[in-house]
Structure 1
């Protein structure tokens, strides 16, 4: 007997693959046939880090690859990310269409029921519509970050953006309150997705952010990795804009059994596996975990300020320093840093973040505030020190600090004294105790959302029923 067949298309990038793979895992556990599609760029990164076995698949779960022609680096500035998406868009339309047609004519493979695509892969909606296949869009950023992008036209009409000149980046203009966006609270211009910080209305980032967000409105439904109580006001607005909205997060909280449980696609290789043993030797809630994600790059000067800020805090820390984290350099930690911190530090190039952040020794998380990292902190009850760089990270940081009370923010122009001060405030001060109390509160709410009867659990049920109706 055939079963519903969901084709899932992830955007290239670790932060997009992880939640999409977890959703695929859940749907597969509900009896769905899954085809998980990655681009060739992603495929090559996975092969280099994990070997060919990672993409073998198993009964009812298969991997497919489409060529993308990507030769750009997989990390860098916001402009790099947008160029990456545009190149993918230009090169993937025909291969993705060919793949869907081939799957629908393959022996032993069920007919495609629907496509679930990452919101950055806007071409997938066009292809699905052409082939008369229903398509759902999967949003990998926060609801609060997404809604800021949806109201870009209003920001333009009211003269908030584009900026009049580049002086407005530094003269305090970005602190202007923005109080007319529905659902958002206590937001300044600097807290909105960072592509609005441009002087060019025809700029690459500006136009892509607008088009990609608006295109989502055409999908059959919007799937969000969040939960109702975390972003209630924003979700009420989105529910009025989209045909259907499915809040199903935090995805990592759902209990899933079966062969996909250990499935992961890592774009970075773990060269060091001793970090968990090191964490086991630390006192509960004593370690600061530092990781700026899989994408951003920082300057040598910023790395040095963070290094000495951590060293001077006198707290133990585990710091992930990707080989390409620092622009154009590696092995540039300041002289004397290793000697000063060797008895209370662990440095590595990559790690299993979910495993680390949930370890009982972790007491705080110094983060770029990507949405996956934010949810993982909430899910593990770990307060945050926020240093957002671009996209929805800016909105996430504002909500972390002002709405949820689970973090404090470091200035964009990072200085070692402030890093040390914020670390001590989180690990030792009354503010840190309050943040820890708040994040435990949200951890409990996240868990409640994903157990049977919870809002996210029921929305998974609703999503699977809606897909099954299409199949029927």
Structure 2
């Protein structure tokens, strides 16, 4: 049985055409494709394309989509919201159910959706046990600008509406060329699209595969940056961990683990094998509760921050996107529970910076003050969930309210 891909383009010409090219490529690799489109685009494609052998394995289906005129900023917002309703997750869920009910031997096996059609789609894919891939039809650089836009706001480079604080030409990301403030890619569509782009970046972080209509060689620095632990950054981190001469537990995502061993510094694993361990997953709360844990190098996700606070473990903060920069600000500047790393001009945290931060946290007077604050907040956090504590009281109020009968 051939794999069956459901393709969901954004119903706009510049997005539909690349998605159709992808459909043909999949067919040439022995896929069966269902191509879901709006009624108007569906009819246009059928009229414009002469039937050929590729269409034997591409089923064209459509749903009614009522997109208002988009000749104004408000029209753009209304159009996006119309898509969310007419081609949103509930519609996709129904389409998958209908296909699978109709074709017992040819059920959908994966979903590939335009990045702008991925909002809320991961739960649908999970419900049907299908892998989900996002397809970005524009340059990787544009995706990077949107992906890191929240970071630029947190750094004070952009206002919260996406407008640059200074009208000048500058490098907004180390991996990209300088860009004038008036050429930022979201300005044409206003604050709504800027905030929608931030949300898109947040949605994408949970999707394993992102396909780009580009090739690595022409946008290599951006591709490496989006890959997360780039080879250079991974090398610097490994050498920094080694140079601390301290015992460590390093958690590397399973999808990066296979490649990571090939790009770690030569002989690294052998040199640290008596004091270090690399794994793909740990029960984080149990690890943080162990008395031998002196500090936690973290991306500052909120769950990680709260678990560290609860266990009294100071943090070394390495945020990447979304709320992580805000969380880092509270950890470092407000609660005084940790330190930040300072990246170089290429956005790399060098091994020396890593070693310096570890030594400050674990050996200096400043580090002692941070560790003492961590102990204090640990007590406060645990008291909050005890009987009579603030969190316990609030939860009990909620439970009591939920138990009341409707007529009370």
Scaled by the length of structure 1, the TM-score of the pair is 0.44
Point out the structure with max Rg over C-alpha. 2
Between 1 and 2, higher relative CO (CA 8 Å, sep ≥ 6) is seen in 1
Scaled by the length of structure 2, the TM-score of the pair is 0.50
